[in-house]
Amino acid sequence: MTSAAGAINLLSQAAPSEVAESVFDFLHMEMVNYVQQSTPAGASHKDEVVYKLERIGFQTGQATIERCTKDVHRFKDQLDVIKFLCKEFWTLAYGKQIDNLRTNHRGVYVLQDNRFRVFANISNSKQFLENAAPYAAFACGMLRGALANLGIVSVVTADLGQTLPSCLFQVKML
Amino acid sequence: MIFNLYIFDRSGTCVYYSEYHRPRKATLSQDEEFKLTYGMLHSIKSFVTRISPKPVREGLHYYKTSTYKLNYFETLTGLKIVLNTDPGVGDIHDLLQQIYSQIYVEYVVKNPLCTPGEKITSELFETRLNALITSLPYFAT
């Protein structure tokens, strides 16, 4: 599981051969599906699903950042790290950069992706909004794992407040 | 002119139906119409394969009557896309292929919230499909 998103893209970076992106898309779909079905129903079902997916993402993020920072210079500060995540890391994992980055300069960063890959095929309106939450959990974990491996402990949550293909990731440094 | 569109899955369920122009309404319920259409297509397909004097590759492509032309496209996985147009419209095999690969696969197969074998409820799918169909030069003429 540790290799899912990153390895696929890293492979295609190393060699110009093409790797189908759909493979990751389908694997991700099945992963969410599996976690949803294998989690016992109950009051905390939703939280538990998100938690499990987030943890898988965390490990993936840790491993991915390990590989994609091997040729990168030392980061100046926290903001530098976040910028790196928005540009290189997100491109590696989701094929595009984060569209908007906001911060309150006190350890809270909001990363906005206007066309989040995982949601792009689901909807471009409010339809399916309430069922989409678990599909962002893996990405949250990816970010948290990447940060953890760079020495920053954080909490990452996804916010799907608006219409669908866009997604906000809130990163809170602890 | 484009009249209407059916998408059947492998088991014969009509997973999507859309009407663009239909001057004459059917005299039976929609479910019955789907069944009738599917049954007829199934029969024509087997008729076509059995009666053909040459080995069959794709089988049924379209048939034409004096009032409409039924265009038929079937994928290897058994998904059937049926588009009724007026008889003047030429070969639209590529269009049906495009509907399958660029719209059905993208917005139904790659949408984890669409269950295979059930009616397609995705609005995104519908929007994209309608955008493609209505942009055709022979859509309304």
Which domains, and CATH codes, for chain B? 2-135 (3.30.450.70)
Q: Per residue in B56-78, pLDDT tens?
A: 888 888 999 999 999 999 998 98
The answer to whether B52 and B71 have CB atoms below 8 angstroms apart is: no
Give the mean pLDDT of A11-23. Answer: 62
- What's the mean pLDDT when you consider all of chain A? 84
| Chain A touched by B104 (CB under 8 Å) | no
Decide if pLDDT at B44 tops 70. yes
d(CA A3, CA A84): 20
Counting one residue from chain A and one from chain B, the pairs whose CB atoms sit within 8 A come to 35
Is the pLDDT at B17 greater than 50, yes or no? yes
Band (pLDDT 50/70/90 cuts) for residue A16 is low
pLDDT value of residue A6: 47
Rounded Cα–Cα distance for residues B11 and A81 (Å): 52
Tell me how close the Cα of B106 comes to any Cα of chain A, in angstroms: 6
Inform me whether the pLDDT recorded for A26 exceeds 50: yes
Identify the pLDDT of residue B25.
83
Question: If pLDDT is split at 50, 70 and 90, which confidence band does A141 have?
Answer: very high
The confidence score (pLDDT) of residue A67 equals: 83
Residue in chain B closest to A21 (alpha carbons) equals: B110
pTM: 0.80
Asked if the C-beta of A129 comes within 8 angstroms of chain B's C-beta atoms, the answer is no
Q: What is the pLDDT of residue A94?
A: 86
Q: Which of A1-5, A122-126, B79-83 has the largest mean confidence?
A: B79-83
Percent of chain B with pLDDT over 90: 36
Can you say how many angstroms the Cα of residue A31 is from the centroid of all Cα atoms in its chain?
A: 14
Residue A46 confidence (pLDDT): 86
Listing DSSP states for chain A in one string gives -TTHHHHHHHHHHHSS----HHHHHHHHHHHHHHHHHHSPPSTTHHHHHHHHHHHHHHHHHHHHHHHHTTTPPPPSSHHHHHHHIIIIIHHHHHSS--SEEEE-SSSEEEEEETT-HHHHTT-SSSTTGGG-THHHHHHHHHHHHHHHHTT--EEEEEE--SSTT-EEEEEEE-
Task: Work out the minimum CA distance from B123 to partner chain A, whole angstroms.
Answer: 7
pLDDT, chain B, mean:
89
Mutate which of B105, B121, B122 to test chain A, going by most A C-beta atoms within 10 A? B122
Angle formed at CA B112 by CA B108 and CA B114, multiple of 5 degrees: 50
Helices (H), chain B: 30-51, 93-98, 123-134
Q: Is the dihedral of CA B111, B30, B140, A125 positive or negative?
A: negative
The residues pairing with A159 across neighbouring beta strands, listed in sequence order, are A168
pLDDT digits 0-9 by tens, A87-139: 888 988 888 899 999 998 888 999 999 888 888 888 888 888 888 888 999 99
Mean pLDDT of A63-92: 85
Residue A80 has pLDDT above 60, yes or no: yes
Structure confidence at residue B23 (pLDDT):
84
**8-27 in B: which are within 8 Å (CB) of A?**
none
**Considering just the CA atoms, what is the radius of gyration of chain A in Å?**
16
Q: Give the 3-state secondary structure of residue B1.
A: coil
- Top residue of A34, A35, A53, A128 to mutate, by most chain B CBs within 10 Å, is A128
- What letter represents residue B123's amino acid? E
Instruction: Give the ipTM.
Output: 0.74
Closest-CA distance of chain B to residue A140, Å: 19
**Predicted confidence band of residue A19 (pLDDT cuts 50, 70, 90):** low
Closest residue to B124, CB basis, from A123, A131, A135: A123
What average pLDDT does this structure show over B38-55?
91
Which residues of chain A have a CB within 8 Å of the CB of B124?
A: 121-125, 127
* Confidence at residue A22, expressed as pLDDT on a 0 to 100 scale: 84
